[in-house]
Structure formats: C-alpha cells, structure tokens
Amino acid sequence: MTTLYEHPLSPYAQKCKIALYEKGVAFELRTPDLFAGATPGDFEAANPRAEVPALVDGDVAVFDSTVILEYVEDRWPEPPLLPPAPAARARARMVEDVCDTHYDAVNWGMMEVIVFKRAEGELAATLMARAAEQTAGLQTWLERQLGGRDWFGGEAFGWGDLSVAPYVNASVFFGLAPKAGTALAAWHARVNERESVAKTAAAAAEAATSGMGAIAQLVASGAFQREYRDHRLEWMIRSGGLSIVEAGIAKGTIRFSRELH
C-alpha cells in the first residue's frame, strides 16, 4: 500500500497528489492531526521534520515534495512527467523551485494576514500590497517560462505544470488571478480541466472554506504553531513584518524547523 501524508491546503502535498493521480497509482491519503499538538508516530517515522507531505511505499519512506516527485517518477515511469530534452527538464525543475520558494512565501504570507490575523490596519495593508505586487511579478515570470507552449514542459502536461497549478489556484482564491487574455490565464483554464488538478483543487477549496476559523483559534492560543522557515521567514521580514515575527516568538504562536535527533 502506498500512503501520502498530506493536508489539502499544502501546495507541496498537492503537487505530489497530482503526480500520483497522473501516474494512475493507487494510494491512500492521510492527514495527520498536527493541530491537536501531537505528532502521530507513523507520520514522524516517515518524516522526522513533521511536515507534509511524506510518502510511504511499502518499506520505503520519502519526505520533501521534490524528492517525492523524483521517487514517483523513478518508481512509476509511465507516463513520464519530465520532458525528454535536458533543457526542458531543467526548465521544469527551475519553475518548480521558484514556485516552492518565492511563490509559496507570498501565498503563505497572505494566509498569515487574512486567516490568522497576524496584522491589522496599516501593516496588513502594506503586507497585502506587497503580496499583490510580488504575485504580479511571479505571474509575469511564469508567462515568460511558458512562452508559446501549451504546457511548461512543451507539448505534454508534466512536472512544471503540476508544480505551478497549486500556487496559481491559491492566487485565484486571494483574488489575484492571472490577467485575462494572457497565455498564463489560458494555461490556468486548461490545466484545471485535467481531472488530477481539478480533484486536488476541489479538496483544497473545501478545506479553505471549512474549519479554518477553528485552526485560527488554535494558532492564536499557541496550541498550534505555524512554522516560519527559510523563504517564509524571509518574506515576512523583507515585506515589513519583522514585528509579526517578534510578536509570534513572544506569544509562542510560531515555531521554526525541527532539530533532528
């Protein structure tokens, strides 16, 4: 049995789900109850960082979404998600990296403001304005990577597309969809017609509209700490939210990456 530990809102988990759906792999989804303040033993064994996603395939446990994608591509090579040409393969991986770092940080920052109420008034307005500017820049960059192709990898849907879709879909949720009439907007409509993407996006939308208020209360109380790591921490500081980080540390409502032992 193949198991993917996930949360429907995690873009990292989303891209792994899309890959598994595209490969036709039978797998079980599990969402660890991290909001209860406990880390299930089997999940922690699969990923000592206690982050989703984590993939368990028989006796093999893999964590980190990019490593999971690489494992899935090697384990179930058909249909291939990486294009055959080395340059196209490199482009798909670079697109993934930009989305997993730059794009994720912007969407995550907006979630901190809108859902978890980290900022109000002028600070909230500043952070949201910066996020809107950065989203526009990222979408312009993605438009260039797409070029005149239907898909980021060329003729077929693949690695680059499943890496971009979760982030652009989140932008739409925040009211920052690609500009109408652009190649990226056309790609966005096309990619969401795929069953793998539509199914994943529907699960994310349901999670976004149900239960987030309760999670916000858990975060406010310190019962669940949001993880401020690398690019997310950098985004908050560079966008003007250093005081949010300081307040989160003082109140115990944020955490940093786990130390392994």
Q: What is the pLDDT of residue 183?
A: 97
Close Cβ partners of 40 (under 8 Å, ≥ 6 residues apart): 32, 33
| Burial tier of 77 (Cβ tally within 10 Å: 0-12, 13-18, 19+) | exposed
Q: What is the pLDDT of residue 258?
A: 86
The kind and range of the H/E element at 169 are helix 159-173
The pTM score is 0.95
Q: What is the pLDDT of residue 217?
A: 83
Pairing of strands 2-5, 28-30: parallel
83 neighbors 154 (Cβ within 8 angstroms) = yes
Q: Which strands, in side-by-side order, build the sheet including 60-63? A: 28-30, 2-5, 54-57, 60-63
Q: State which residues of the chain have pLDDT below 70.
A: 34-41
Residue located via tokens 């798909």: 92
Q: What is the pLDDT of residue 40?
A: 57
Q: Which domains are seen in the chain, by residue range? A: 2-75 (3.40.30.10)
Residue located via tokens 């069953």: 195
Q: What is the pLDDT of residue 101?
A: 97
Distance CA 80, CA 217 (A): 43
Q: What is the pLDDT of residue 167?
A: 98
Token pair recorded at residue 208: 């976004």
Q: What is the pLDDT of residue 38?
A: 44
Q: What is the pLDDT of residue 204?
A: 96
Q: What is the pLDDT of residue 34?
A: 61
